[in-house]
Chain A
Amino acid sequence: MTDPTQRDALAQRDAPTQRDAPTQRDAFEQLMLPHLDDAFNLARWLTGNRSDAEDVVQEAYLKALKHFATYRGPEARAWLLTIVRRCCFSWLKVNRSQQLTFMEDEAIAEIAGRPTVVALHPRAVETPETQLNDKERRKHLNSAVENLPLAYREVVVLRDLQGLSYKEIAEIAEIPIGTVMSRLARGRDHLLKHLEQRLGGEVAHGL
């Protein structure tokens, strides 16, 4: 946290409008900073690595601050995550453009229908299912989600990890609720298929 005197000093440098600015900045901080963990978690799952996620989140906060005037409440988290997601997609467009080509629903349906996709931890095949411990199950589960096509991964993360409602997910991902529902259903089917294949018919329950 910033030392308050330091912050005052910084704020005072920007005369004369700074008289009013702290009020709004305080409101921004109060509303948006509590969601930093959620913002980072989403960015981490979408970009796939920590340092890019950090940069994306910081950029998102900067954008959010700039556009705070358009915030009409009360769902601060959903509003912020919408911006975080957009920043993630701009980043993906530059750095992982091949992932974005799978965003079309038709393409996704086609992938979902295919019997095999990415090989997850080939070593696991040799391991008898009875010896799989919780740690390994967890590893499989996480890697299965990491390997999900982006459009599935984001709804699964938003719903199952971040516990958002369908309505909020629709808002954040900028898709209709019906699409949220069908992507979740297909994404989870995808995961079931993979995990049951990997773990010999039994899903990794009991985590």
Chain B
Amino acid sequence: MDCDRNTTLLNAYIDGELDLSSTLTLEGHLAGCRSCKDKYGRLADLTADLRNGLERYPAPSELRERVTLMLAARPASSATTAAEAAGGALVVMPMTRRGGDQGVGGRKWGRRQFLALAASIAGVAVVSGATTYWLMPRGEAHGMADEVVASHIRSLMASHLTDIASADQHTVKPWFDGKVDVAPTVADYSNQGFALMGGRLDYLDRRPVAALVYRHRAHLINMFACPVRAGEERETKPEALSIRGYNVLYWTAGDVTYWAVSDASPADLQTFRNLVQEATDSRG
């Protein structure tokens, strides 16, 4: 392996963006190369510092107000000359436009604009219609299991395995705050052979869910944490399924139903599930 050329790979490795076979090759190399290992340590420290130390600038409340007002005052897809003309003024000082109504309120709608708007609404309808169809539950748990497996496969194909790549549960867990309705158990079980790789926001059963990604030897495990719906049981024993060559294990603990899916063996998934359950129990 050419050490000088490893920098790009090391960066991708730290970011959790390296594919599995390159990861394994690189890990093998790191075990025996001091200079690359040193570089890895420095880069990992740097990225952690950047993540924690770089200034995050939240949108000022005035901007939020300006944008909200602008949206309230304007129809969507109004690609008109009037809009272009009004645009410049709006960018600078939208509040002044609320009183007067040249441009926004007094604009006439031409046929072209109307068609553009109608077409765009139709576009949205088609997209949302397709989404609804795709997400329709196809009967009980097996429909859900199908979705879980499909999502697992998609996550492997789309090079979108993680939204937040980190082996640190204290980084991954808070990332989900405000994004999903549940607080899933997030822990790293590296010492037991199941390494946390990161988390991702996914969409299952018509709601956003937390997906956690683990690696067990050469296998990836996606674990989805779905909020229990009203009337569903709060504690269930794990159920195993096999779908299109993937093994699925699901169980409910408290407010969360966990779905683990992987090409790892059913026994490995069971071991994994026990680790998650232990971590859930010790969380109280």
- Which A residues form the contact surface with B (CB < 8 A)? 1-2, 6-7, 10-11, 13-14, 16-18, 20-21, 23-25, 27-29, 33, 36-37, 39-41, 44-45, 50, 53-55, 57-59, 61-62, 65-69, 72-74, 137-138, 141-142, 145, 156-157, 159-161, 163, 165-167, 181-182, 184-185, 188-189, 191-192, 195-196, 203-205, 207
Contacts and interface: CB of A to CB of B under 8 A. Distances in A.
Contacts of B164: 163
A10 B68 CA distance: 13
Nearest to A166: B17
Chain B interface mostly: helix
Contacts of A33: 67-68, 71
A137 to B, nearest CB: 7
A36 B61 CA distance: 10
Contacts of B113: 17
Interface of B: 7-8, 10-12, 15, 17, 42-43, 45-60, 62-64, 66-79, 83, 87, 90-92, 94, 98, 101, 104-105, 107, 109, 113-114, 116-121, 123-124, 127, 131, 158-160, 162-164, 175, 203
B143 to A, nearest CB: 21
A62 B59 contact: no
B77 A192 contact: no
Contact of B59 (A7, A17, A28, A36): A36
A33 B71 CA distance: 10
A55 B159 contact: no
Contacts, number: 201
A67 B120 CA distance: 9
B73 to A, nearest CB: 5
B60 A207 contact: no
Closest 9 CB pairs of A and B: A69-B120, A160-B50, A207-B53, A40-B59, A21-B75, A205-B45, A44-B57, A13-B105, A24-B76
Contact of A6 (B52, B72, B117): B72
Given A37-B59, A41-B56, 7 more contacts: A20-B121, A44-B57, A57-B67, A69-B123, A137-B53, A185-B8, A188-B43
A166 to B, nearest CB: 5
Contact of A188 (B11, B75, B83, B162): B11
B124 A27 contact: yes
The interface centre, meaning the residue of A16, A36, A137 with most chain B CB atoms within 10 A of its CB, is A36
Contacts of B92: 55
Nearest to B159: A167
Given A66-B78, A192-B46, A181 B54 contact: no
Contact of B162 (A36, A165, A182, A207): A165
